[in-house]
């Protein structure tokens, strides 16, 4: 026995690991456990999670559809920043954790729980993301991380515990450790097994949302995305809710093999890990958002956004979504999006999403200024001479010194 509590709220997927954790919490703390299953668009039937929780004696089972909140309040703000961790990763797992933590805390307050619990392991980033978020939202709530507390030292011991307590064990989870898979409406990620060797080619069967670009249609497809104040609002002229829009772009992008990424990344905890990601809709939206910004953002504003983006992305990756510095950066980013409205058309073809046109009623682009033909605007080519001479002053001084 590791202590007694009144009530614990568990982030519960219904899978083998969190089912074992559920039973372990009941035994170890001798209290009621409330399960919370977040529907972030992972594409799985969630009722089996309810059935398994009922089988394990849970009386208060929460299954909450968070798809619209996830995309509207977490994915879209992140996309306004064009956020990429280490220049490539669209942060699909990272951005889901603060939302889960938000609802864990809300339920804990509602039911009067002493603690919340999660199934993240002691080696990964998710334990940090979840617990930092809980810390930021309610410092009075304890966090229980069974993977850091229990005495199980191998998967065999876990399977023996599951068998003892009649917890169903899927056949593909016997013996060899399974792939670790995370999925939500933004992405899927796969880690473990053969992927732990970065020299090994990822097998095709691990991909769930995208066809192999080689097997994608030989005919390109165009898609037009409408934006208002930095957020996507329509696909091919049809207005959609945030979650519906991302779902549609996942479908379209997956058909063309868009959004595959095989990445060795640097975890916050200090180790390198390899993951295979699929983010079809998010990849299209990133290209489209950059396309609409290219004609609506001022040069200096655009460059400033690009400068702070790595810091912003790192904050999300490391679990600081609710930290004050992320709020500060978000305010700056959101201020930049006031005039980022219009439409962007992309061509999708065999894994590539390429912007081919962009229009905006708030565009800063002037054909009169850039044309090689006679311009009606007051741009005097001779003005460039003084501009260059002033900017070259320090360079001429530097060159003169080198010559001495």
Domains of the chain are 7-66+93-178 (3.40.50.620), 181-359 (3.90.1260.10)
Give the pair of three-digit tokens for residue 136. Answer: 């930021």
Model pLDDT, residue 314: 98
Instruction: Give the residue from 314, 313, 216, 207 showing the smallest Cα distance to 261.
Output: 207
pLDDT for position 357:
98
pTM of the model: 0.93
**CB under 8 Å to 10, separation ≥6 — which residues?**
18, 21, 22, 25, 33, 34, 35, 36, 116, 117, 118
Q: How far apart are CA 233 and CA 239, in angstroms?
A: 6
Query: pLDDT tens string for the chain (404 positions)?
Result: 455 689 999 999 988 889 999 999 999 999 999 999 999 999 877 888 999 999 999 999 999 999 999 999 999 999 999 999 999 999 999 999 999 999 999 999 999 999 999 999 888 899 999 999 999 999 999 999 999 999 988 778 888 999 999 998 876 554 455 688 899 999 999 998 899 999 999 999 999 999 999 999 999 999 999 999 999 999 999 999 999 999 999 999 999 999 999 999 999 999 999 999 999 999 999 999 999 999 999 999 999 999 999 999 999 999 999 999 999 999 999 999 999 999 999 999 999 999 999 999 999 998 777 766 666 666 788 899 999 999 999 999 999 998 75
Q: What residues does 180 pair with on adjacent strands?
A: 191
DSSP 284-308: HHHHHHHHHHHHHS-HHHHHHHHHH
CB 47 within 8 A of CB 21: no
Give the pLDDT confidence score for residue 174 in this predicted structure: 46
d(CA 10, CA 23): 11
The vertex-200 CA angle with 196 and 201, nearest 5°, equals: 115
Residues classed as catalytic: 17, 97, 126, 180
pLDDT for the residue numbered 2: 55
């Amino acid at each position: 026995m590791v202590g007694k509590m009144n009530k614990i709220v568990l982030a519960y997927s219904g899978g083998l690991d969190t089912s074992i954790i559920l039973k372990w919490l009941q035994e170890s703390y001798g209290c009621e456990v409330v399960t919370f299953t977040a529907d972030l668009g992972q594409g799985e039937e969630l009722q089996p999670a309810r059935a398994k929780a009922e089988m394990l004696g849970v009386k208060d089972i929460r299954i909450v559809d968070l798809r619209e909140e996830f995309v509207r309040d977490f994915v879209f703000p992140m996309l306004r920043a064009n956020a990429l961790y280490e220049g490539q990763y669209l942060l699909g797992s990272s951005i889901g954790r603060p939302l889960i933590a938000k609802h864990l805390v809300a339920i804990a307050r509602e039911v009067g729980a002493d603690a919340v619990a999660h199934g993240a392991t002691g080696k990964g980033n998710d334990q940090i993301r979840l617990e930092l978020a809980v810390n930021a939202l309610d410092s009075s709530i304890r966090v229980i991380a069974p993977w850091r507390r229990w005495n199980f030292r191998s998967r065999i011991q876990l399977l023996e515990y599951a068998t003892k307590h009649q917890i169903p064990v899927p056949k593909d989870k016997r013996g060899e450790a399974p792939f670790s898979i995370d999925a939500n409406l933004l992405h899927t990620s796969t880690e473990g097994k053969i992927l732990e060797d970065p020299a090994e080619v990822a097998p095709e069967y691990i991909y769930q949302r995208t066809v192999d670009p080689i097997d994608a249609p030989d005919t390109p497809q165009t898609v037009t995305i409408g934006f208002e104040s930095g957020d996507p609002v329509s696909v091919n002229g049809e207005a959609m809710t945030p979650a519906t829009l991302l779902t549609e772009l996942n479908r379209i992008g997956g058909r063309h093999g868009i959004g595959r990424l095989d990445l060795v990344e640097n975890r916050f905890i200090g180790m390198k890990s390899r993951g295979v990601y699929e983010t079809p809709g998010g990849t299209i939206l990133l290209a489209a958002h950059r396309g609409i910004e290219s004609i609506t953002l001022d040069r200096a504003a655009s460059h400033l956004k690009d400068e702070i983006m790595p810091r912003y992305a790192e904050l999300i990756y490391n679990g600081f979504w609710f930290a004050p510095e992320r709020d500060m950066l978000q305010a700056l980013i959101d201020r930049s999006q006031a005039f980022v409205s219009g439409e962007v058309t992309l061509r999708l073809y065999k894994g590539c999403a390429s912007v081919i046109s962009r229009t905006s009623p708030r565009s800063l682009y002037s054909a009169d200024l850039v044309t090689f033909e006679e311009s009606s605007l007051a741009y005097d080519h001779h003005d460039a001479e003084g501009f260059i001479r002033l900017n070259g002053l320090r360079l001429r001084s530097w060159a003169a010194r080198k010559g001495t």
